Amino acid sequence: MDMDPDSILEENAIITANATCGTTRREYFCRLVEHADGALLYRRDRRQIETYTRDEKSFRDPSGQWVQCSFCDARDPRLSHPIEYVLRGESDLWWQSPSLAEGLRYHAVTITMDFNQVYQIVYVLLRMGDSPRPANWILERSLDGINYKPWVFFAESEYDCKRLYEPLINGPLTVTSGPRPWKLEDDEVYCTTFYSQPQALQSGEIIVTLTLDRASTISGTSGIERAISPKLIDFLSARYVRLRFQKLQTLSGDWMAMPNQLDSSVYNRAADEELALAMGCDVL
């Protein structure tokens, strides 16, 4: 994940993650690829691992999918992927979580951004790089970095939305299979299953528009826009934004037929994140 280098966030934001790949030891990870180099395909007729450099491997799994593997190592600048890369704005630098080969606890990884002042967040755009989009997670906001409130819940199914997240709010939780419900109250939290389906192996996007279809932003029957309500301004306001991943998309049984390697291919790699920020209430 990275941010626009021209943004004031590059200088002012502080970003942390509670887990990063390669922190305690060199970590092996793999990703599925759409295709491989033609010369490589011509040379190879056996399904075996073939090493090209000391840091990367490519092979075809029993189902015929091409898999590329590499290492993450915080001690080696060429192989490290720290959270600080988020602010560099360079496409070949990214943050990456530990894979599940390092332990099932790495389903739960949290990224926290401190902007050092309060903004109104209009939308959040997250691109996942070469990992699938996460299955279950929460996008949260806070003014003090201690007390967090949800903006949006993400889950694989309506059942997971209700079971995991409805107990966290006061009242019934709206669940949608689309990107968002068609009509929302100004401070309404919802759960969507749209972005949690195993459809994109890489470069999947998650687009969260926090103002669209809110009650005070919908035009009245006269066509005159309503004033933005104080309730919506409060809902959009945050100094801290937290991405609390709770379950990764494992793809188990969908594409990969390599049980002994599966965990090494399950991790979060956030390649790009964009937030639209408004400084102060007067811009609304």
Hey, what domains does the chain have and what are their CATH numbers? 9-283 (2.60.120.260)
Separation CA 39–CA 34 (nearest Å): 15
The three-state secondary structure class of 162 is helix
pLDDT of residue 75: 94
The model's pLDDT over 83-111, given as tens digits with 9 standing for 90+, comes to 888 777 677 788 888 888 888 888 889 99
- Of these ranges, 35-44, 80-89, 264-273, the one predicted with the greatest mean pLDDT is 80-89
pLDDT of residue 274: 55
pLDDT of residue 4: 46
- Of these ranges, 15-19, 48-52, 59-63, 254-258, the one predicted with the greatest mean pLDDT is 15-19
- The answer for residues whose C-beta is within 8 angstroms of residue 61's C-beta and 6 or more apart is 47, 67, 256, 257, 258, 261
- CA 105 to each of CA 4, 29, 102, 129, 136: distance values in angstroms, whole numbers, following the listed order: 31, 16, 8, 22, 14
Q: What are phi and psi of 232, to 5 degrees?
A: -70, -40
Tokens at 172, concatenated:
């019934």
- The answer for residues whose C-beta is within 8 angstroms of residue 142's C-beta and 6 or more apart is 148, 149, 238, 239, 240, 241, 242
pLDDT at 152 over 80: yes
Q: Is the pTM for the entire model greater than 0.85?
A: no
Identify each DSSP E strand in 99-195 by its residue range: 109-127, 136-142, 148-154, 174-176, 190-192
Q: What are phi and psi of 100, to 5 degrees?
A: -70, -10
Mean pLDDT is lowest, of 127-141, 236-250, 269-283, for 269-283
The three-state secondary structure class of 194 is helix
pLDDT of residue 6: 42
The model's pLDDT over 161-190, given as tens digits with 9 standing for 90+, comes to 999 999 999 889 999 999 999 999 999 999
